[in-house]
């Protein structure tokens, strides 16, 4: 293996963002002493991304894959994984900006000196200033999901001890300013050991979008590795700007919602169904189905 | 004269027993002047210790590990000796012991999984015991002057559970191939087909039932030889399997050391599907006998073997099947090299250094 780090970015109708993301990333990487590469997988964007990407491919450390269709998030990232040569893989969303000091040296150093760390994420901040809740998650057990959707998590987020009971979905009882273990980061910034990804064969392609990051985290943790949230470093996540003008397009919105709840059902079936009585499972699927169609 | 005590009550338990036997066996090699040893053991084990360490004092006790008697009788027993340093070689110690001690913590598996004998208890008893166990272990981790772990992985696991402030007092010291196995001759191979070898017990976290099912589906031309105790756990596994799944399984229980050497010498590879380990004696033994290894991708095995083995996800049958076939089809088999640090002489030397540092 020749490289230290492979950054894999999925591009889908985010021309300007992708450009900004990659140029900031390039800058950060150039300040580090790491041997790094960037792999961009384009899922047949319709906004002229491919011209921009073509220009980028002149860079010796950028590889581009053009797909003829949109085969989903997991599949595209797995194509990137197959090409990657780094000891570590960073899954990065095209709407994530890395600015300021380059932290890649210390981040990789931290992974190198802790063989128990299977994966790591940093403080993924939204434009509003708060952290992306998806970057600091617990595994969505039935109880945790119930507390979250019933609003109990939000209600108890600031109450010590009680939040331990009700705040498992986003681990609200753990301070966001200290380094600790979490269950799952977001796929927006997800640094993983390559050897683990090789054994696990990357993302599960049954998920089209949403949920594949939690599924991967689940499979990393059950091998006995830790997943670390380290807020020493921050990146900016300009969430909800990918997709074609999402806010105006009701069919896209519907589709997105459908994928979200389908992922939830796949995850439950794959990891939890065997642990719960049939009655609970029936109820879980009914609720998911209701949510999926209620838009 | 400094006086060091060693808890040798688990001398003939699997795993930790091997550790203790080797510690005692090589101790006279490295024992420095000005130090005397007292060994605490079960009455039946005293002759063994007498033979291994003729100069050591022996105190016998009937207080078993993880018992109430350990907290009272065993406490009185070691208090009487006014030790300069005590070495608890397992988790479990008298919590009220106030003199200086160090501990070996082999494994955090019991903290993470319901496994071993514990898995057979009803949930109420299990959880009560588990809570007491966690409290005792926390006390031991906090009060120990130094902690020995068999791998860096266990060190990191302890740091994650108890905070990075304890990291400085933890020294990982690798184990090795037992002197008893090193001197084993081995005999004639009686197994006809080429075989993959599993060595170990059949506790749930060893994941052997899963292995057998995946192995049956792999339709490789191998047999699968299981060398371990034919106890409740193995019986439970065998009952749950169909005849088809058991077709190519060969069980070798209560094998002598020489039989174990024979098994290692003639196996095509070691296969180990465990989902959690503190070390891996069979892994190191397989390296010693020059066997390729097919094993789960868990942090401890990654630390011990690096990339030179056929790794799989121990939760996915397809992953195991793939690894077996990859091993079978590869002309030049990946074979790990036994690292120099994996010897018990080295382990005892480093342990002795630690004693002298803290006595």
Report pLDDT digits (tens) over B140-190.
999 999 999 999 999 999 999 999 899 999 999 999 999 999 988 888 888
Residues B37 and B137 in one domain: yes
Residues from chain B that touch A219, judged by Cβ atoms under 8 A, are 313, 315
Least CB–CB distance from B319: residue in A115, A181, A199: A199
Three-state DSSP class for residue A149 = helix
* Contact present, A186 and A170 (Cβ < 8 Å): no
Closest C-alpha to A53, from A107, A93, A88, A13: A13
Half-sphere exposure (CA, 13 Å, Cβ side) for A40?
30
A195·B302 Cβ contact <8 A: yes
In this structure, is residue B338 part of a structural domain? no
Measured between alpha carbons, how far is A209 from A215 in angstroms, rounded to an integer? 12
Q: Which of A115, A119, A217, A224 is the best residue to mutate to test the B interface, defined by the most B CB atoms within 10 Å of its own CB? A: A224
Cα distance from B300 to chain A (closest Cα, Å)?
9
Cα distance from A116 to chain B (closest Cα, Å)?
6
Residues B282 and B264 in one domain: yes
Q: What is the pLDDT of residue A244?
A: 46
In this structure, is residue B237 part of a structural domain? yes
Residues from chain B that touch A224, judged by Cβ atoms under 8 A, are 112, 275-276, 298-300
Measured between alpha carbons, how far is A218 from A268 in angstroms, rounded to an integer? 12
User: Stretch A43-63: mean pLDDT, rounded?
Assistant: 90
Q: What is the pLDDT of residue B319?
A: 98
CA angle at B330 for the pair B329 and B336, rounded to the nearest 5°: 130
DSSP β-bridge partners for residue B295 = B272, B311
Tell me: pLDDT of B323 over 70: yes
Cα distance from A64 to chain B (closest Cα, Å)?
29
What ipTM did this prediction achieve?
0.92
H-helix segments, chain A: 15-30, 49-56, 73-83, 104-113, 142-149, 152-156, 162-166, 194-200, 212-222, 250-267, 278-293
A195·B307 Cβ contact <8 A: yes
Q: What is the pLDDT of residue A247?
A: 55
Q: What is the pLDDT of residue B106?
A: 95
Residue in chain A closest to B299 (alpha carbons) equals A116
Residues B153 and B208 in one domain: no
In total, the C-beta contacts within 8 angstroms joining chain A to chain B are: 47
Q: Which of B149, B296, B297, B309 is the best residue to mutate to test the A interface, defined by the most A CB atoms within 10 Å of its own CB? A: B297
Least confident span in B88-97, B106-115, B232-241 = B106-115
- As for how many domains chain B has, the answer is 2
Q: What is the pLDDT of residue B344?
A: 97
Handedness of CA A262, A268, A270, A274 (dihedral sign): negative
Measured between alpha carbons, how far is B253 from B222 in angstroms, rounded to an integer? 19
Closest C-alpha to B104, from B155, B52, B49: B155
Least CB–CB distance from A224: residue in B152, B276, B312: B276
Q: What is the pLDDT of residue A102?
A: 81
Residues 6+ apart with CB under 8 A from A273: A281
Mean pLDDT of the residues in chain B: 93
Residues B325 and B350 in one domain: no
Residues B197 and B273 in one domain: yes
B296·A114 Cβ contact <8 A: no
Tell me: pLDDT of B21 over 80: yes
Closest C-alpha to B203, from B294, B288, B107: B107
In this structure, is residue B334 part of a structural domain? no
Measured between alpha carbons, how far is A155 from A150 in angstroms, rounded to an integer? 10
Residues B199 and B272 in one domain: yes
In this structure, is residue B335 part of a structural domain? no
In this structure, is residue B115 part of a structural domain? yes
Residues B230 and B316 in one domain: yes
Residue holding tokens 């299990």? B126
Q: Read out DSSP for A154-169?
A: HHHTTSTTHHHHH-TT
User: Stretch A43-58: mean pLDDT, rounded?
Assistant: 89
Helix (H) or strand (E) holding A5: strand A3-11
Q: What band does A295 get if pLDDT is binned at 50, 70 and 90?
A: low
Least CB–CB distance from B313: residue in A115, A199, A226: A199
* Contact present, A10 and A73 (Cβ < 8 Å): yes
In this structure, is residue B337 part of a structural domain? no
In this structure, is residue B336 part of a structural domain? no
Measured in whole angstroms, the distance separating CA A66 from the mean position of its chain's CA atoms is: 21
Least CB–CB distance from A225: residue in B296, B299, B319: B299
Residues from chain B that touch A181, judged by Cβ atoms under 8 A, are 160
Residues B129 and B238 in one domain: no
Joined tokens for residue B200: 């170990």
Residues B39 and B89 in one domain: yes
CA angle at B353 for the pair B349 and B358, rounded to the nearest 5°: 150
Residue holding tokens 């105790």? B229
Residues B14 and B100 in one domain: yes
Residues B234 and B259 in one domain: yes
Measured between alpha carbons, how far is B73 from B213 in angstroms, rounded to an integer? 46
Measured between alpha carbons, how far is B56 from B24 in angstroms, rounded to an integer? 10
Residues from chain A that touch B206, judged by Cβ atoms under 8 A, are none
Residues from chain A that touch B275, judged by Cβ atoms under 8 A, are 222-224
Closest C-alpha to B102, from B93, B115, B112, B110: B93
What single-letter DSSP state applies at residue B338?
P
Residues B246 and B188 in one domain: yes
Joined tokens for residue B323: 């690894």
Residues from chain A that touch B297, judged by Cβ atoms under 8 A, are 195-196, 199-200, 223
Residues from chain A that touch B303, judged by Cβ atoms under 8 A, are 115
Closest C-alpha to A266, from A203, A215, A232: A215
Closest C-alpha to B314, from B328, B302, B330: B302
For residue range A102-146, list pLDDT tens digits in order: 899 999 999 999 999 999 999 999 999 999 999 999 999 989 998
Q: What band does B128 get if pLDDT is binned at 50, 70 and 90?
A: confident
Half-sphere exposure (CA, 13 Å, Cβ side) for A6?
27
Joined tokens for residue B167: 């990291």
Residue B169 structural domain: 2-176+343-358
Residues from chain A that touch B162, judged by Cβ atoms under 8 A, are none
Q: What is the pLDDT of residue A252?
A: 79
Residue in chain A closest to B316 (alpha carbons) equals A200
Q: What is the CATH number of the domain that holds B228?
A: 3.40.50.2000
Cα distance from B156 to chain A (closest Cα, Å)?
7
Query: If interface means Cβ-Cβ distance under 8 Å, which residues of chain B face chain A?
Result: 112, 152-153, 156-157, 160, 275-276, 296-300, 302-303, 307, 311-315, 319
Cα distance from A115 to chain B (closest Cα, Å)?
7
A222·B315 Cβ contact <8 A: yes
In this structure, is residue B255 part of a structural domain? yes
Cα distance from B170 to chain A (closest Cα, Å)?
14
Tell me: pLDDT of A7 over 90: yes
Q: What is the pLDDT of residue B118?
A: 67
Measured between alpha carbons, how far is B111 from B100 in angstroms, rounded to an integer? 25
Q: At what angle do helices B16-30 and B344-358 cross, to 10 degrees?
A: 70
Tell me: pLDDT of A167 over 60: yes
Q: What is the pLDDT of residue A241?
A: 60
Residue in chain A closest to B163 (alpha carbons) equals A180
pTM of structure: 0.93
Residue A114 — φ and ψ, nearest 5°? Answer: -130, 95
Q: What is the pLDDT of residue A245?
A: 52
Helix (H) or strand (E) holding B326: helix B317-329
Residues from chain A that touch B157, judged by Cβ atoms under 8 A, are 116
B157·A116 Cβ contact <8 A: yes
Tell me: pLDDT of A101 over 90: no
Least CB–CB distance from B160: residue in A118, A219, A226: A226
Tell me: pLDDT of B348 over 50: yes
B298·A200 Cβ contact <8 A: no
Cα distance from B6 to chain A (closest Cα, Å)?
30
* Contact present, B309 and B294 (Cβ < 8 Å): yes
* Contact present, A120 and A90 (Cβ < 8 Å): no
Joined tokens for residue A146: 């119930």
Q: What is the pLDDT of residue B15?
A: 81
Least confident span in A96-105, B146-155, B261-270 = A96-105
For residue range A242-270, list pLDDT tens digits in order: 544 555 677 878 888 888 899 999 999 99
């Amino acid at each position: 293996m020749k490289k230290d780090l492979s950054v894999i970015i999925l591009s889908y109708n985010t021309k300007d963002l992708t450009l900004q993301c990659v140029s900031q990333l390039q800058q950060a990487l150039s300040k580090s002493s790491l041997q790094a590469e960037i792999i961009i997988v384009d899922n047949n964007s319709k906004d002229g991304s491919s011209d921009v990407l073509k220009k980028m491919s002149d860079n010796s450390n950028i590889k581009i894959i053009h797909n003829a269709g949109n085969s989903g998030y997991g599949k595209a990232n797995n194509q990137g994984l197959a090409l990657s040569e780094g000891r570590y893989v960073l899954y990065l969303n095209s709407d994530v900006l890395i600015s300021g000091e380059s932290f890649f040296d210390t981040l990789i150093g931290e992974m190198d000196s802790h063989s128990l760390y299977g994966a790591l994420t940093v403080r993924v901040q939204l434009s509003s200033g708060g952290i992306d809740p998806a970057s600091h998650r617990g595994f969505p057990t039935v109880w945790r999901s119930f507390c979250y959707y019933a609003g109990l998590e939000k209600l108890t987020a600031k109450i010590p001890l009680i939040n331990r009971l009700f705040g498992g979905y986003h681990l609200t009882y753990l301070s966001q300013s200290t380094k600790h273990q979490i269950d799952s980061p977001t796929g927006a910034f997800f640094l993983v050991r390559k050897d683990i990804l090789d054994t696990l064969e990357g993302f599960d392609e049954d998920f089209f979008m949403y949920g594949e990051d939690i599924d991967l985290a689940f499979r990393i943790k059950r091998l006995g590795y830790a997943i670390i949230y380290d807020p020493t470093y921050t990146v900016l996540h300009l969430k909800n700007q990918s997709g074609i003008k999402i806010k105006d397009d009701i069919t896209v919105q519907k589709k997105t919602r459908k994928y979200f709840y389908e992922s939830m059902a796949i995850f439950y079936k794959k990891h939890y169904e065997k642990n719960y009585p049939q009655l609970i499972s029936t109820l879980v699927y009914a609720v998911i189905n209701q949510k999926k169609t209620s838009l | 004269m400094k006086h060091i005590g060693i808890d040798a009550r688990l001398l003939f338990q699997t795993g930790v027993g091997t550790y203790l036997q080797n510690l005692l066996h090589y101790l006279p090699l490295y024992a420095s002047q000005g130090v005397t040893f007292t060994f605490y053991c079960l009455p039946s084990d005293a002759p063994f210790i007498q033979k291994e360490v003729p100069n050591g004092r022996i105190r016998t006790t009937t207080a078993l590990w993880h018992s109430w008697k350990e907290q009272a009788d065993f406490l009185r027993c070691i208090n009487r000796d006014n030790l300069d340093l005590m070495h608890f070689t397992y988790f479990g110690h008298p919590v009220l012991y106030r003199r200086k001690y160090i501990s070996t913590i082999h494994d955090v598996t019991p903290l993470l999984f319901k496994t071993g004998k514990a898995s057979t208890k009803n949930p109420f008893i299990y959880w009560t015991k588990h809570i007491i166990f966690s409290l005792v272990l926390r006390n031991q981790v906090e009060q120990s002057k130094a902690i020995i772990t068999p791998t860096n992985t266990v060190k990191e696991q302890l740091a994650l559970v108890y905070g990075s402030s304890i990291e400085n007092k933890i020294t990982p010291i690798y184990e090795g191939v037992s002197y008893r196995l090193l001197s084993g001759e081995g005999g004639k191979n009686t197994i006809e087909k080429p075989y993959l070898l599993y060595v170990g017990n059949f506790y749930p976290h060893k994941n052997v039932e899963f292995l057998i099912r995946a192995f049956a589906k792999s339709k490789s031309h191998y047999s699968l030889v299981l060398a371990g105790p034919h106890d409740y756990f193995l019986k439970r596994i065998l009952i749950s399997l169909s005849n088809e799944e058991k077709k190519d399984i060969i069980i070798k229980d209560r094998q002598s050391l020489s039989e174990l050497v024979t098994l290692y010498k003639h196996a095509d590879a070691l296969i180990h599907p465990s989902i959690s380990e503190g070390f891996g004696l069979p892994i190191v033994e397989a390296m010693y006998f020059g066997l390729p290894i097919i094993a789960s991708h868990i942090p401890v095995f990654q630390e011990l073997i690096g990339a030179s083995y056929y790794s799989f996800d121990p939760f996915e049958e397809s992953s195991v099947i793939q690894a077996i076939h990859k091993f079978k089809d590869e002309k030049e088999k990946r074979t790990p090299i036994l690292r120099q640090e994996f010897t018990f002489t080295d382990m005892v030397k480093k342990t002795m250094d630690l004693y002298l540092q803290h006595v």
